[in-house]
Amino acid sequence: MSNTNLRIDGLDFDAIKSNLKDYLRSQEQFKDFDFEGSGMNIILDLLAYNTHYQSFYANMVANEAFLDSSVLRSSTVSLAKQLGYTPRSVKASKIFLNVSFNSSLIINTASGDTVEARVRKGNAFINRGDIFRASLPGNRFFNFIALDDYKIELVSGVPVARNVKVYEGTLRNYTFVVNSFDPTQKFVLPSSNIDVDTLRVRVQKSTTDTTGLIDIWSKATDINGLNSDSLVYFLQETEEGNFEIYFGDGVVGKALENGNVISLEYLLTNGELANNCKTFTYVAGVLSPYTESVTSILDPDGNGTVSFGGTLPESIESIKYYAPRNYQAQERAVTVEDYKTILVKEFSEGIDSFFVWGGEENDPPQYGKVFISIKPKNGSKIGILEKLAIQKSVLGKRNLVTIQPEIVDPDYIYLELDTLSSYDPSKTNLSPDGLGSQIQTTVEAFETANLDKFGRNFKSSKLVSTVDNSNKSITGTTLTLRLQKRIEPFLSKPSPYTIKFGNSLLHPIDGFTPILSSTPFGYQDSTSTAVIKPVVDAFLDDDGYGNVRIYKIEGTTKVYINSKIGKINYTTGVVTLNNFNPQYIEPRTDSEIRLTVRPQRMDIQSLRNQIIVLDYSKSNFIVEQDSVAVINEQSGTAFPY
């Protein structure tokens, strides 16, 4: 009797072929058959290959049916669509500009009008479509477009257009004619490099009737409140990676009619390639060809902001992560996770890291608020205008009425590191300076991988181990650590300041050596006998009993101007300054005073919106020969490896 007990435990090629042989050997006809030396071996190969092929195909089909295991973008997008999630398109790089013009330039030779004259008449604008040219190293040039109109106003007699938001790309137009007799007609955008956030959709009656052309249809994000007259469109990604627009059915959203003309205007962009532009020239618009009229272009915050926010289309991994979370949020911001999902969905192109916490978790607690801290991909903090845009348009329309979102800047803790590494010169051709440079590169890579984002703590043992393993000649490393915070004081205005280091500070006994120091700043010398008190270079330190002092240096001696300008809590790591009134900051080009302390422990934690970064200007990477290696080298004894 034949054995029908077939094994199906292996699906790889070799296992399938082996199972087939075992099955045939169980048959009387093939009991002593030599499968390897006959033509049957080829038949078994074909059967095993076909079975393996089919099992692989069945496995892939099963994988593509679930969001967690899908591999193909088309499958992932289709599954996300079932959760009401539309992947993000490519995003254009952007920047805010203040544009100043030469007020005396004649822009109308017939009337003799100058820029100032036109501004005074109230008809001077930077219009939608005006072009600014930017460049990057390597002869790369990009056009940035204004997508709205901005009025030019006189500011101290100078014509200025303020807070002009420009996007990188080229404005394009595309049209469709609706054919209701074609059930397969689709309205697919012609390129995958379109930033769909810049899309403007209009629908006119027909090719000969422009009725409705002035109305701009809006993208629908929520069907609640929509009716048969709502001028809305919907977006979805196609299998090819382009975006398709579709319209309502006459119940939820206005339906299209046969012969309607759909007019699309959008920005075709280079995405992330145009990030980091910082020099702009006005080349085409209301004042062209008078490009020399631009005298300055500055960002509104005055901190040298570069263009940012350009990204590639959303990745498969991101879609799989955020689609279910977006479904849970349902376009509402209720929990902390809801805020995180909305931020990534609406503003991911500019965010490197963010942290969200409720007001009840704040220090001190502020009930009825939710705090959001954002670290941008370019720079250390986002600008005022971006904060307002996120707070109002992104979060304000989704959060509960009783909850007020507030965006705060990241709180940076700067680490000053001194590493002292011993090395065996017989194991490397590098000089101490070369080895020190290699160690710094290792530390920089460590920072990128383990710090510089919210929620990441510093582990000293991990860094020391990384440095020791960076070169086989390094025999050991010791680490010295300091914490640094920076404040931007109001000059010549007495004000209170609270500086939170977020970690306990070194304080073995009362009266211990000062652990607080600062960079110099100008302060009025109250110890002077002069009628008008001079301003001198001054510094901060502590007295070992919890008091913060201001002192000046006369020769090599500290002379204290104020012995109790504030307090230092060694346990909580909080420094407070009362009525602190600096007159200037040294160097005069700087805007910050840097306070440095010695921590109690070598492991540093970050709380809430704190981010730990390294200050390389105050760090040292010292390398010296291992004393044991030197002794062994002098005695001719081989160093034991």
Most confident range, picked from 89-98, 577-586, 628-637? 577-586
Is 81 in contact with 74 (CB distance < 8 Å)?
Answer: no
Based on the domain organization, do 262 and 199 belong to the same domain?
Answer: yes
Residue 1 is predicted with a pLDDT of 44
Task: Note whether residue 398 is domain-resident.
Answer: yes
388: left (phi over 0), alpha (psi -120 to 50) or beta: alpha
Question: Lowest-confidence range among 278-292, 407-421, 466-480?
Answer: 278-292
pLDDT tens-digit readout, 44-76: 878 888 887 777 778 788 888 888 889 899 999
Based on the domain organization, do 255 and 292 belong to the same domain?
Answer: no
For residue 448, count other CB atoms closer than 10 A to its CB.
10
Residue 401 is predicted with a pLDDT of 66
Side-chain-side CA neighbours of 312 within 13 Å: the count stands at: 4
Based on the domain organization, do 582 and 509 belong to the same domain?
Answer: yes
Instruction: Place 485 in a pLDDT band, splitting at 50, 70 and 90.
Output: very high
In b/e form, how buried is each residue of 210-237, taking b as 16+ CB within 10 angstroms? eebeeeebeebeeeeebeeeebbbbbeb
Question: Distance between CA atoms of 258 and 207, rounded to whole angstroms?
Answer: 11
Find the mean pLDDT for residues 229-253.
Answer: 93
Based on the domain organization, do 264 and 294 belong to the same domain?
Answer: no
Task: Note whether residue 361 is domain-resident.
Answer: yes
Side-chain-side CA neighbours of 396 within 13 Å: the count stands at: 9
Find the mean pLDDT for residues 205-224.
Answer: 90
Instruction: Place 188 in a pLDDT band, splitting at 50, 70 and 90.
Output: very high
Based on the domain organization, do 201 and 259 belong to the same domain?
Answer: yes
Instruction: Indicate whether 437 pLDDT > 80.
Output: yes
Sign of CA dihedral 387, 390, 393, 396: negative
Based on the domain organization, do 182 and 255 belong to the same domain?
Answer: yes
Instruction: Indicate whether 301 pLDDT > 60.
Output: no
Is 380 in contact with 389 (CB distance < 8 Å)?
Answer: no
Higher confidence at residue 217 or residue 2?
Answer: 217
Contacts of 119 (CB under 8 A, 6+ apart): 103, 152, 153, 154, 159
Question: Distance between CA atoms of 70 and 61, rounded to whole angstroms?
Answer: 9
Give the C-alpha distances (Å, rounded to integers) separating 15 from 8, 60, 176, 286. Answer: 9, 19, 56, 74
Residue 125 is predicted with a pLDDT of 83
Instruction: Indicate whether 639 pLDDT > 50.
Output: no
Most confident range, picked from 312-326, 375-389, 396-410? 312-326
Residue 34 is predicted with a pLDDT of 66
Structural domain tally of the chain?
Answer: 5
Instruction: Indicate whether 86 pLDDT > 60.
Output: yes
The CATH number assigned to the domain holding 399 equals 3.30.300.200
Higher confidence at residue 633 or residue 127?
Answer: 127
Q: Residue 532, exposed/middle/buried by CB under 10 A (0-12, 13-18, 19+)?
A: exposed
Is 284 in contact with 130 (CB distance < 8 Å)?
Answer: yes
In b/e form, how buried is each residue of 104-127, taking b as 16+ CB within 10 angstroms? ebebeeeeebbbbbbbeeeebbbe
Most confident range, picked from 53-62, 98-107, 167-176? 167-176
Based on the domain organization, do 371 and 229 belong to the same domain?
Answer: no
Question: Lowest-confidence range among 83-87, 120-124, 359-363, 496-500?
Answer: 120-124
Based on the domain organization, do 228 and 193 belong to the same domain?
Answer: yes
Based on the domain organization, do 184 and 35 belong to the same domain?
Answer: no
Find the mean pLDDT for residues 188-210.
Answer: 94
Residue ending a domain, choose from 553, 572, 591: 591
Question: Lowest-confidence range among 136-150, 296-310, 422-436?
Answer: 296-310
pLDDT tens-digit readout, 287-297: 555 444 455 56
Find the mean pLDDT for residues 78-85.
Answer: 89
Domain assignment of residue 59, given as a range: 13-64
Find the mean pLDDT for residues 380-395.
Answer: 75
Task: Note whether residue 528 is domain-resident.
Answer: yes
Q: Nearest-5° angle of CA 585, CA 590, CA 592?
A: 70
| pTM (global) more than 0.75 | no
pLDDT tens-digit readout, 302-356: 445 788 888 899 899 989 988 888 777 666 777 777 777 777 777 666 678 888 8
At 171, list the tokens: 């404005």
Based on the domain organization, do 368 and 395 belong to the same domain?
Answer: yes
Task: Note whether residue 21 is domain-resident.
Answer: yes
Question: Distance between CA atoms of 415 and 437, rounded to whole angstroms?
Answer: 18
Question: Lowest-confidence range among 31-35, 117-121, 428-432, 603-607?
Answer: 31-35
Based on the domain organization, do 159 and 288 belong to the same domain?
Answer: yes
Question: Distance between CA atoms of 591 and 583, rounded to whole angstroms?
Answer: 12
On the question of a cis peptide bond just before residue 410, with omega within 30 degrees of 0, the verdict is: no
Is 141 in contact with 133 (CB distance < 8 Å)?
Answer: yes
For residue 463, count other CB atoms closer than 10 A to its CB.
24
Residue 629 is predicted with a pLDDT of 55
Mean pLDDT of the chain: 85
Instruction: Indicate whether 641 pLDDT > 50.
Output: no
Question: Lowest-confidence range among 374-383, 555-564, 618-627?
Answer: 374-383
Question: Lowest-confidence range among 373-382, 502-511, 541-550, 611-620?
Answer: 373-382
Task: Note whether residue 579 is domain-resident.
Answer: yes
Give the C-alpha distances (Å, rounded to integers) separating 284 from 119, 135, 281, 289. Answer: 18, 16, 9, 7
Instruction: Indicate whether 21 pLDDT > 50.
Output: yes
Residue 257 is predicted with a pLDDT of 93
Based on the domain organization, do 114 and 190 belong to the same domain?
Answer: no
On the question of a cis peptide bond just before residue 289, with omega within 30 degrees of 0, the verdict is: yes
Is 483 in contact with 612 (CB distance < 8 Å)?
Answer: no
SS3 60: helix
Task: Note whether residue 18 is domain-resident.
Answer: yes
Instruction: Indicate whether 13 pLDDT > 70.
Output: yes
Question: Distance between CA atoms of 476 and 454, rounded to whole angstroms?
Answer: 30
Task: Note whether residue 484 is domain-resident.
Answer: no
Task: Note whether residue 520 is domain-resident.
Answer: yes
Nearest to 351 by CA among 334, 366, 339, 364: 339
Rounded percentage of the chain residues whose pLDDT exceeds 90:
49
Find the mean pLDDT for residues 117-131.
Answer: 81
DSSP state of 213: T
Secondary structure of 109-144 as H, E, C letters: CCCCEEHHHHHHHCCCEECCCCEEEEEECCCEEEEE
At 93, list the tokens: 């790089």
Question: Distance between CA atoms of 152 and 115, rounded to whole angstroms?
Answer: 9
At 522, list the tokens: 């100008």
Instruction: Indicate whether 362 pLDDT > 50.
Output: yes
